[in-house]
Amino acid sequence: MRNKFQKAGLVMTGIFAGILISLNFSANADRVAPASLPVEELRAFADVFNAIKQGYVEPVEDRKLINHAISGMLTGLDPHSAYLDAEAFKELQEGTQGEFGGLGIEVGMEDGFVKVVSPIEDTPAFRAGVQAGDLIVKLDDTPVKGMDLSDAVKMMRGKPNTSITLTIMRKGESAPVVVKLVREIIKVQSVRSKIIEPGFGYLRVSQFQENTATAVVEHLNKLMADGPLTGLVLDLRNDPGGLLHGAIGVSAAFLPADTLVVSTDGRTPDARREYRVDPEDYLRGRTRDFIRNLPAAAREVPMVVLVNGGSASASEIVAGALQDHKRATILGTQSFGKGSVQLVYDLSDGSSVHVTSSRWFTPDRHQLDQQGLQPDILMTVTQEDIDNGRDAVLNQALFELQKLVQLEE
């Protein structure tokens, strides 16, 4: 029996090695030579595979075991490398287009639990008080510990008007927080604006989608329709990020041409790159440069940018660029610290592998990943502000803008 087990293990080692060779070659053919495969470690994998197939309490499909192995291989690297099956990958793509079903939270993994990056504005999660940094430990009666991120996302998404209960561990709370949410179709309007006082504009970016930068230009034109602004608040609080070219396009609305916005650094030569205020970096194949429609005053108006612990990824790129170039004052609390680039490898069955290949750096070479941005002016929201429905951070931003204007005069 033992010989039979060992033989089966060797066969599985060969099969799995073949799979890895084909994946490794297709993913890296244009980049680096395929790495040699660790045969002894693969033999251990095959032994475990066979032990589960022969001894686990109930039958397990081969595909499920392989998928779990791939997922574990990636999630063990960092919070952002991941394996998404075909359905989860499709849902991720839908999210960047601005409409999808679910609870309205951007999530990642940390220590085996689902971590909330940010609740999306005006969604069930946002209205229920789910916060950036919350660790979701249970979905209904199912513990999250050890669950794949894609499986957790599947459980949280579902038909509109159906409910799910989240059990959350929150920093500063001694007992778990239990929240019951009703799923909705999530329609994200990524840009909003208004005049908050005569001459002072407010621009809110809640997510970086395909057309966010174009929408920012349109809103700036509306805000400036009656003349140049005296000051502008750019609100990136609880903005979980999104598309890179959207972040560069928004930065381009406030920075001079050819200004460095962000750079990446990684192990391979093609992982090291600079992104600038350049149509090639923000148009993404479009022929019409929407930045040309922007009033020149947009690059000169005094600015305050609002960030908090839910500001992540693309929103950190924009805030970091404006901060380093002394274009804006950053106000709020430390941002989330999601500053890494994932290469996406599309697999033949519709699933995808997301592998961290490099990390983001602001123009002054500040690493964003797991560090975030430190605001120029630190200001937290008090419980009294929340109870009174008062946005004290926005009020402070307006005060800071008025001081800047007085100094310039």
Q: Catalytic pick from 338, 357, 358, 369?
A: 338
Helix (H) or strand (E) holding 8, with range, is helix 2-28
What are the angstrom distances between the C-alpha of 77 and each of 41, 109, 110, 272, 357? 17, 11, 11, 20, 11
* 324 included as an active-site residue: yes
Residues paired with 130 in a beta bridge: none
CB 102 within 8 A of CB 183: yes
DSSP characters for 177-232?
Answer: EEEEEE-EEEE---EEEEEEETTEEEEEE--B-TTHHHHHHHHHHHHTTTS--SEE
Give the residue among 243, 317, 255, 324 at the shortest CA–CA distance from 291: 255
* 154 included as an active-site residue: no
Give the residue among 321, 252, 328 at the shortest CA–CA distance from 293: 252
Q: Catalytic pick from 134, 239, 324, 369?
A: 324
CA-to-CA distance for 255 and 261, rounded, in angstroms?
9
DSSP characters for 135-147?
Answer: EEEEETTEE-TT-
CA-to-CA distance for 157 and 92, rounded, in angstroms?
12
Q: Using CA atoms in the order 185, 191, 192, 196, what is the torsion angle rounded to 10 degrees?
A: 140
CB 389 within 8 A of CB 191: no
* 351 included as an active-site residue: no
CA-to-CA distance for 104 and 119, rounded, in angstroms?
6
Q: Catalytic pick from 150, 313, 315, 335?
A: 313
Scan for tokens 């999601």, then name that residue: 338
Which residues are the active-site residues? 313, 324, 338
